[in-house]
Amino acid sequence: MNEIEAIEEQLKQTQLAYQMAAQMSQYKAGFLARTYHELRSPLTSLIGMHQLILNNLCESPEEEREFIQSAYESAQKLMKIMDDLIAVSQVEYGTAELEIKPLQLAFILSEVEKLTNLQATHNRFSLEIAFPDDRLHVMGDRARLQQVLLTLIDTAISLMRKKSIEGIIKVATVTSAESKLVEIQIDLNIPPAMWSEPVNLLQQTPDTTPEAIKSFSKQLEISPGMKILLCGNLLETMGGNLVVLDLSSQEENKPLTRLQCSIPLAPFQDLPE
């Protein structure tokens, strides 16, 4: 390799490093915006309720006590959100170790079915899981992989209930020997937009009227978009990824979203006997 070729190769490597750094910077900025949005909402509710009490805007001692109770519940939910965010961050930065080992995927899915089937039935949804061959194993952390699947299905049920959407939640697996990945596909009869959030998260200001605070404090939870991001981060720490696909039929006007979780296929030599 002559000097010019060496300089060109070095330039390519520099450009690649720059692109990777730019993508990482954009990702961190997006994560920061979402995190800020998730934490600001319960904080605004908490501060608003205290302001109503301090400004003597409560109509009775009973209402004042109601606001104090709501403020306490908002603080508890805020702590839960922070715990969820910190737990994922600890995994990402290596302070919480993962136990990566071969996992029987059929067993993982059967555990998920046991924990979600009752909720789905109670809300009159049908949960259909096509179980793979018992010999199919994936590489991952059992608790974290199960956590991801439970979070996605639970959130899907919640979204369908809130929007009064009837449908079937289907779970299937596809193995790709070429990519050495197993795709866990969760198909839902809901629009993909329900899993996303507004672009300008930092520009949104929560409503601070007494009525809005009362209503908002009762429904504080991590948004679907943030849950997708956290689940995707967990899968990436296990060598996988998560994508949201729009498979809606425009002709039939039927929304269909696929949450596609990819996880490494366990090498044959690593399979337990």
Q: Give the residue from 239, 246, 273 showing the smallest Cα distance to 261.
A: 239
Handedness of CA 170, 257, 85, 121 (dihedral sign): negative
Q: Please name the residues in contact with 236: beta carbons below 8 A apart, sequence gap of 6 or more.
A: none
Six-digit token string for 217: 């404090």
Parallel, antiparallel, or unpaired for β 181-188 and 168-176?
antiparallel
26, pLDDT greater than 70: no
CB 202 within 8 A of CB 208: no
**Separation of alpha carbons 101 and 270, rounded Å:** 8
Split into its structural domains, the chain has a count of 1
Question: For the ranges 35-39, 114-118, 258-262, which has the lowest average pLDDT?
Answer: 35-39
Q: Which of 81-85, 100-104, 229-233 is the most confident on average?
A: 100-104
**Separation of alpha carbons 19 and 265, rounded Å:** 29
Q: pLDDT tens, 74-94? A: 777 777 777 776 776 666 565
Model confidence at 117, in pLDDT bands (50, 70, 90)? Answer: confident
**Separation of alpha carbons 59 and 26, rounded Å:** 48
Q: pLDDT tens, 11-21? A: 666 655 545 44
Question: For the ranges 33-47, 113-127, 138-152, which has the lowest average pLDDT?
Answer: 33-47
Model confidence at 162, in pLDDT bands (50, 70, 90)? Answer: confident
23, pLDDT greater than 50: no
Residue 103: count other Cβ atoms within 10 Å of its Cβ: 21
What residues make up the domain containing 118? 3-270
Q: Please name the residues in contact with 65: beta carbons below 8 A apart, sequence gap of 6 or more.
A: none
- Tell me which DSSP letter residue 267 carries: P
**Separation of alpha carbons 132 and 173, rounded Å:** 7
**Separation of alpha carbons 86 and 241, rounded Å:** 20
**Separation of alpha carbons 66 and 49, rounded Å:** 10
Judge residue 29's burial from the number of C-beta atoms within 10 Å of its C-beta, 0-12 exposed, 13-18 middle, 19 or more buried.
Answer: exposed
pTM confidence score: 0.67
pLDDT at site 186? 93
CATH number of domain containing 96:
3.30.565.10
pLDDT at site 4? 64
Residue 56: count other Cβ atoms within 10 Å of its Cβ: 7
**Separation of alpha carbons 197 and 58, rounded Å:** 34
